[in-house]
Amino acid sequence: DSGVTQTPKHLITATGQRVTLRCSPRSGDLSVYWYQQSLDQGLQFLIQYYNGEERAKGNILERFSAQQFPDLHSELNLSSLELGDSALYFCASGGGGDAGELFFGEGSRLTVL
Amino acid sequence: KNEVEQSPQNLTAQEGEFITINCSYSVGISALHWLQQHPGGGIVSLFMLSSGKKKHGRLIATINIQEKHSSLHITASHPRDSAVYICAAGTGNQFYFGTGTSLTVIP
């Protein structure tokens, strides 16, 4: 058990809809990272938050947004969903700063029909 | 060109064999991670390296900062080592991922 909790584990929805994925980091970790893993693209870094502030942005679409709350949990919002958004979405947490360890949640599997 | 390249993409080994997976990167990094992903999706961080060499049981990871290269070695491989191994290199702010090496160890 990594200590990182992601909900929901599975989600099926339709094109055009909006979903929210939730991540609770390991106790004491200030950084939360979101990743997307689709079959054809491997793991892609989406965005990082550190202690409530956006720290880095990767290949995150404009239809996606995230935030980190004062209790350090994070939510990833995906809107106007398309078939291609079907993927595993992983959250990882770490102590932040450089050279930090990463602890991954079990992922949320999103299927867009 | 990807910032992180792994080789081989696929690897099949007999139980007991010594296995090496390679990772080359082109970005400046403060750390390199080796991750293991089993069928079913869960990802486990095996190693975090910024220099030198680390060993956990039958797993050894090395990194050469000057050559921008890292290797993951598995000694005395076992079928339970069958998984996808992913290299991730970057800074605390952003990591770049290799496409993974799918390892199958046959009894």
Q: What is the pLDDT along chain A (113 residues), one digit of tens a residue?
A: 889 999 999 999 999 999 999 999 999 899 899 999 987 778 888 999 989 999 888 889 999 999 999 999 999 999 999 999 999 999 999 865 544 678 899 999 999 99
Q: Do A101 and B48 touch (CB under 8 A)?
A: yes
Phi then psi for residue A84, to 5 deg, are -70, -10
Q: Do B31 and A98 touch (CB under 8 A)?
A: yes
Residue B22: strand pairing partners = B7, B71
Tokens 């800074």 belong to residue: B91
Q: Evaluate whether A34 touches A55 at the Cβ level (below 8 Å).
A: no
Q: Evaluate whether B25 touches B89 at the Cβ level (below 8 Å).
A: yes
Q: Residue B93: its chain A contacts at CB < 8 A?
A: 48, 55-56, 98
